[in-house]
């Protein structure tokens, strides 16, 4: 048929363009070929079609979504019948149809041209006005980057405003690496250090100890006890953060768990434990500690959500109401977690408004995780010069204590530890949103700067 | 012999890959109604693009595919492997799976525990392949999931890209001990990622590059260490090498001993031509494996035959030796 119609295009993904045959019922089918005058569709052998009425749903990126066209009335010809399917040809005489086909093909070709001609973000600039020219601008150091973001002042202001009106909200800070453990134990904080100033101002009610993403950053032997002791001295509550369990290191994880449980016994604490691995939840369930001496929190790695600092450029994102929900908004799922001893959910702010589930919720801010690797990309990059050349390592040199992966400044992203994080300035500036979270059930803010 | 499981993104590719020697195939299915409501913003599976053939988008093609499966007897598993779904989405997926089951598709790759819960509790007679995108795999987790999802719907565990061979062996042994799943699948070819799939929450869409492919620069507190970028961006070699973007062929001997039953060739969105070559290379490697007695012999023979001009070096399993 294509020979008859010189402007025929083939092989259009049916995620972009679908033909709906309408009549007694509706049949969505694949367009095998198409020109401004005709169209071939593929049908299953047992599908009967009586209608010559066609509706099209075509994705147009300029429209941020699908546009429907038709109905068009067409002359139908049964063409071929193979062992598995049959092909039907429709000849369509319609100016609107012609325009649709031309416009659609133009944008499809345009996409292919842009994508094949650009391996960086040039195509995104044309497609979604992504500011590709800003990708050239990198900070030369972590401190420079932090200063440019202005996050310290913005965080300080947000906390001031929130706690001016609310006295029933707990304020927590994360101690998630060796440097922070030392600072806390020695009361020795960098001038620029926000969590240091919060602690010095005696505003912090709770500390989170441990790194959710990397087990190598858990406090070493003896340090955990000292941290707990120091927290008790300062009348702070504690949450122990248990990380993703490393591949094949079950014995180490058991030992870590034992240390935590012993520490909790020694100090007679009601401890909270954030789990970031379902296996760790199982190990905890096997102890008799859960209900008596500790509460279990659903960790950030287990609480999945769409997180990327570039969502504002994403087609269809701003108008999508359901983006704020995740699994925790399903009562059946929450029940499953509750039956398994999980009492609290760890949420992150992530640049857009999220739904707050029923129950107890902590909100981590201003950083949120986007990507994590079980094996360390930083270790691979430093040791082998290739971030993808990842291996497990027994004795981690902790390059992450003073190395970072810097991304273009405008993205507010940083590679740190075994993960990529982004900075959510938007929520810090939307005090109404932050207050609405508190009204809906967030009773704790956890500063992770 | 371990079975070859290959991905495909268009109906036309099914027979091509069957002829190449795939034992099982997988693809995605996203009906128009889903795309009209959620687009590729809250996608039905991990192929979050519209401008490529990464999945089937209409029920007519699924009916045709079903007939082909009956004819060629090479089964197709459907990926419903987004990291999570909303409550409303789960209702839509359950209904979609009911419709697909009616035409013969009984196996589903699932990563969202809440969807697995819903499927296990439903009256749908289907089998679940627990996706590598769930996150980590370890023996206590398997024990927990065995309790949560008891019954016979959990058929297969798919290890993620960064599980070591030793670890997979331990998990397979444990799974058999507790009678959790019958089948264990490991990644073998293509699309090695820098980050773990289950913890990758960023965009994989048409209009922006993957977050992990953005240019970055490593700095230390003291010095600027130079510029780095995702290496595969520049890797545009036109000569075909098996597993150019990720390869585990050297690990086949250990995989067999570990009890791996299925080998994943990532391929939804790849050209059928490349997938055909990959499948043929893996089949050849499996034949060599059957005929050699030691690991050293297997690796040297396989490399001599398949990698005369050298391999990609993009090893999935660094602990192979």
State whether residue A430 is helix, strand or coil.
Answer: coil
Let me know: does B217 contact A406? Beta carbons within 8 Å. Answer: yes
Let me know: does A355 contact A307? Beta carbons within 8 Å. Answer: no
List A337's β-bridge partners, or say none: none
- With beta carbons under 8 A apart, name residues in chain B contacting A371: 194-195, 199-202, 211-212
H or E element, residue B108? strand B107-110
Distance from CA of A232 to the nearest CA of B (A): 32
CA angle centred on A362, ends A324 and A282, rounded to 5°: 95
* Alpha-carbon span A62 to A59, nearest angstrom: 9
- Testing the interface with A: which of B8, B10, B44, B64 to mutate, by most A Cβ within 10 A? B64
Which residue does chain B place closest to A399, by CA atoms? B220
- With beta carbons under 8 A apart, name residues in chain B contacting A388: 192, 194, 230-232, 314
pLDDT class of A256 with cuts at 50, 70, 90: confident
* Alpha-carbon span B272 to B265, nearest angstrom: 12
pLDDT higher at A290 or A441: A441
First-to-last alpha carbon distance for chain B, in angstroms, is 22
Q: Cβ atoms within 10 A of the Cβ of B195, count?
A: 27
Q: Decide if pLDDT at A259 tops 70.
A: yes
For residue A81, the model assigns a pLDDT of: 86
Quick one: average pLDDT of A203-212? 95
- Which residue, chain included where needed, has tokens 């016979």? B152
Average pLDDT, chain B: 93
* Alpha-carbon span A98 to B277, nearest angstrom: 40
Q: Decide if pLDDT at B69 tops 70.
A: yes
Quick one: average pLDDT of A366-387? 94
B118-141 pLDDT, tens digit per residue, is: 999 999 999 999 999 998 899 999
Q: Decide if pLDDT at A60 tops 50.
A: yes
Distance from CA of A236 to the nearest CA of B (A): 31
Average pLDDT, chain A: 91
State whether residue B75 is helix, strand or coil.
Answer: coil
For residue A274, the model assigns a pLDDT of: 97
Is the CB of B86 less than 8 angstroms away from the CB of A313?
A: no
* Alpha-carbon span A431 to A445, nearest angstrom: 13
- A247 interfaces chain B, CB cutoff of 8 Å: yes
- A335 interfaces chain B, CB cutoff of 8 Å: no
Please tell me which of A73-87, A199-213, A358-372, B208-222 the model is most confident about, judged by mean pLDDT.
Answer: A358-372
For residue B234, the model assigns a pLDDT of: 47
- With beta carbons under 8 A apart, name residues in chain A contacting B216: 405-407, 415
The two tokens of residue B169 are: 């062996």
Is the CB of A30 less than 8 angstroms away from the CB of B90?
A: no
The two tokens of residue A341 are: 């001893």
Sign of CA dihedral B48, A305, A148, A208: negative
Let me know: does B136 contact A245? Beta carbons within 8 Å. Answer: yes
- With beta carbons under 8 A apart, name residues in chain B contacting A279: 136, 138-141, 144
> Pairing relation of β-strands A271-275 and A413-416?
unpaired
Quick one: average pLDDT of A165-170? 91
For residue A115, the model assigns a pLDDT of: 86
- With beta carbons under 8 A apart, name residues in chain B contacting A248: 164, 166-167, 170
Distance from CA of A304 to the nearest CA of B (A): 7
Quick one: average pLDDT of A157-169? 92
* Alpha-carbon span A163 to A161, nearest angstrom: 6
The two tokens of residue A335 are: 């029940």
Contacts for A85 with CB less than 8 Å, ≥ 6 apart: A42, A43, A44, A45, B64
Q: Decide if pLDDT at B223 tops 80.
A: no
Quick one: average pLDDT of A116-130? 86
Q: Cβ atoms within 10 A of the Cβ of A93, count?
A: 12
Out of B144, B192, B195, closest to residue A281 by CB: B144
Q: Decide if pLDDT at A1 tops 80.
A: no
The two tokens of residue A383 are: 């040791």
Q: Decide if pLDDT at B25 tops 50.
A: yes
State whether residue A255 is helix, strand or coil.
Answer: helix
For residue A201, the model assigns a pLDDT of: 80
Q: Assess whether the previous peptide bond of A24 is cis (omega < 30° from 0).
A: no
Q: Decide if pLDDT at B231 tops 50.
A: no
* Alpha-carbon span B224 to A141, nearest angstrom: 7
Report residue A253 CA to chain centroid gap.
26
The two tokens of residue A156 are: 């300080």
List A residues 277-296 in contact with B (Cβ-Cβ < 8 A). 277-283, 285
Let me know: does A387 contact B228? Beta carbons within 8 Å. Answer: yes
For residue B232, the model assigns a pLDDT of: 40
ipTM above 0.90 for this complex: yes
Q: Decide if pLDDT at B294 tops 60.
A: yes
State whether residue B203 is helix, strand or coil.
Answer: coil
Quick one: average pLDDT of A301-326? 95
DSSP B315: B
* Alpha-carbon span B7 to B4, nearest angstrom: 10
Of A321, A354, A370, the closest CA to residue A442 belongs to A354
Which residue does chain B place closest to A330, by CA atoms? B87
Q: Decide if pLDDT at B321 tops 90.
A: no
Q: Decide if pLDDT at A183 tops 90.
A: yes
CA distances from A41 to A10, A49, B278 (A): 11, 12, 31
- Torsion angle (degrees, nearest 10) of CA A80, A85, A91, A96: -160
Percent of chain A past pLDDT 90, that is, above it, reads 72
State whether residue A83 is helix, strand or coil.
Answer: coil
Out of B141, B167, B192, closest to residue A388 by CB: B192
The two tokens of residue B198 are: 């289950």
Of A247, A237, A257, A361, the closest CA to residue A303 belongs to A361
Tell the burial category of A362 from Cβ atoms under 10 Å away from its Cβ (0-12, 13-18, 19+): buried
Task: Report pTM.
Answer: 0.95
Of B160, B161, B186, the closest CA to residue B254 belongs to B186
pLDDT class of A289 with cuts at 50, 70, 90: low
Let me know: does B25 contact B78? Beta carbons within 8 Å. Answer: no
For residue A268, the model assigns a pLDDT of: 74
Which residue does chain A place closest to B138, by CA atoms? A279
Q: Decide if pLDDT at A132 tops 60.
A: yes
Q: Decide if pLDDT at B222 tops 70.
A: no
């Amino acid at each position: 048929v294509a020979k008859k119609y010189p402007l025929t295009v083939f092989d259009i993904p049916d995620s972009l363009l679908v033909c709906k045959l309408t009549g007694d019922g509706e049949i969505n089918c694949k367009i095998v070929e198409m020109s401004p005058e005709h169209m071939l569709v593929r049908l299953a052998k047992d599908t009967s079609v009586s209608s010559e009425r066609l509706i099209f749903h075509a994705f147009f990126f300029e429209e941020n979504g699908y546009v429907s066209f038709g109905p068009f009335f067409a002359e139908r010809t049964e063409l071929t019948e193979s062992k598995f399917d049959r092909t039907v040809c429709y000849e369509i005489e319609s100016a609107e149809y012609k325009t649709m086909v031309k416009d659609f093909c133009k944008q499809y070709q345009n996409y292919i041209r842009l994508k094949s001609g650009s391996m960086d973000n040039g195509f995104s600039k044309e497609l979604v006005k992504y500011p590709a020219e800003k990708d050239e601008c990198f900070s030369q150091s972590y401190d420079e980057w932090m200063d440019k973001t202005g996050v310290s002042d913005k965080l300080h202001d947000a906390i001031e405003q929130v706690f001016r009106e609310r006295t029933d909200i707990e304020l927590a800070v994360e101690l998630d690496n060796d440097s922070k453990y030392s600072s806390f134990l020695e009361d020795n904080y960098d001038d620029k250090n926000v969590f240091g100033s919060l602690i010095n101002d005696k505003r912090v009610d709770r500390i989170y100890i441990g790194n959710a993403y990397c087990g190598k950053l858990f406090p070493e032997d003896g340090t955990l006890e000292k941290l707990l002791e120091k927290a008790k001295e300062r009348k702070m509550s504690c949450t122990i953060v248990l990380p993703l369990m490393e591949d094949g290191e079950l014995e180490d994880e058991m030992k870590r768990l034992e240390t935590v449980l012993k520490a909790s016994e020694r100090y007679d604490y009601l401890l909270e434990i954030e789990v970031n691995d379902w296996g760790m939840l199982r190990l905890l369930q096997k102890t008799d500690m859960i209900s008596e001496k500790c509460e279990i929190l659903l960790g950030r790695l287990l609480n999945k959500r769409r997180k990327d600092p570039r969502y504002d450029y994403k087609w269809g994102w701003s108008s999508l109401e359901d983006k704020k929900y995740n699994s925790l908004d399903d009562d059946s799922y929450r029940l499953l977690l509750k039956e398994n001893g999980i009492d609290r959910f760890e949420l992150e702010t992530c640049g857009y408004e999220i739904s707050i589930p029923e129950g107890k919720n902590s909100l981590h801010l201003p950083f949120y995780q986007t990507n994590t690797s079980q094996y360390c990309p930083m270790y691979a990059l430093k040791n082998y010069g290739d971030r993808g050349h990842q291996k497990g390592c027994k004795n981690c040199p902790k390059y992450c204590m003073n190395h970072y992966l810097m991304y273009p400044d405008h993205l507010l992203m940083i590679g740190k530890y075994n993960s990529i994080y982004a900075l959510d300035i938007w929520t810090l500036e939307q005090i109404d949103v932050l207050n609405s979270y508190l009204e809906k059930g967030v009773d704790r803010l956890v500063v992770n700067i | 012999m371990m079975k070859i499981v290959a991905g495909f993104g268009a109906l036309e590719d099914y027979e091509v890959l069957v002829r190449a020697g795939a034992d099982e195939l997988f693809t995605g299915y996203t009906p128009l109604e889903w795309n009209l409501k959620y687009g590729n913003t809250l996608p039905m599976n991990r192929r979050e693009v519209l401008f490529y053939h990464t999945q089937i988008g209409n029920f007519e093609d699924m009916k045709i595919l079903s007939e082909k499966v009956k004819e060629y007897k090479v089964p197709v598993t459907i990926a419903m492997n987004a990291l999570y779904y909303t409550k409303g989405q789960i209702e839509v997926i359950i209904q979609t799976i009911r419709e697909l089951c009616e035409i013969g598709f009984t196996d589903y790759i699932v990563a969202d525990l809440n969807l697995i819960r819903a499927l296990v509790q439903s009256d749908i007679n289907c089998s679940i392949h627990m996706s590598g995108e769930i996150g980590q795999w370890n023996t206590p987790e398997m024990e927990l999931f065995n309790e949560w999802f008891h019954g016979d719907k959990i058929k297969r565990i798919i290890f993620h890209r960064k599980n070591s061979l030793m670890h997979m062996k331990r998990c397979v042994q444990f799974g058999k001990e507790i009678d959790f799943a019958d089948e264990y699948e490991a990644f073998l070819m293509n699309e090695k990622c820098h980050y773990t799939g289950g913890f990758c929450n960023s965009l994989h869409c048409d209009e922006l590059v993957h977050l992990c492919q953005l240019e970055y620069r490593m700095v230390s507190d003291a010095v600027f260490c130079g510029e780095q970028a995702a290496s595969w961006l520049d890797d545009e070699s036109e000569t075909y090498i098996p597993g150019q973007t990720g390869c585990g062929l050297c690990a086949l001997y250990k995989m067999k001993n570990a009890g791996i039953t299925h080998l994943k060739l990532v391929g939804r969105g790849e050209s059928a031509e490349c997938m055909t070559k990959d499948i043929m290379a893996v089949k050849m490697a499996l034949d060599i494996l059957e005929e050699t007695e030691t690991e050293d012999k297997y690796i040297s023979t396989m490399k001599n035959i398949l990698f005369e001009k050298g391999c990609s070096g993009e090893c999935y399993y660094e602990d192979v030796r």
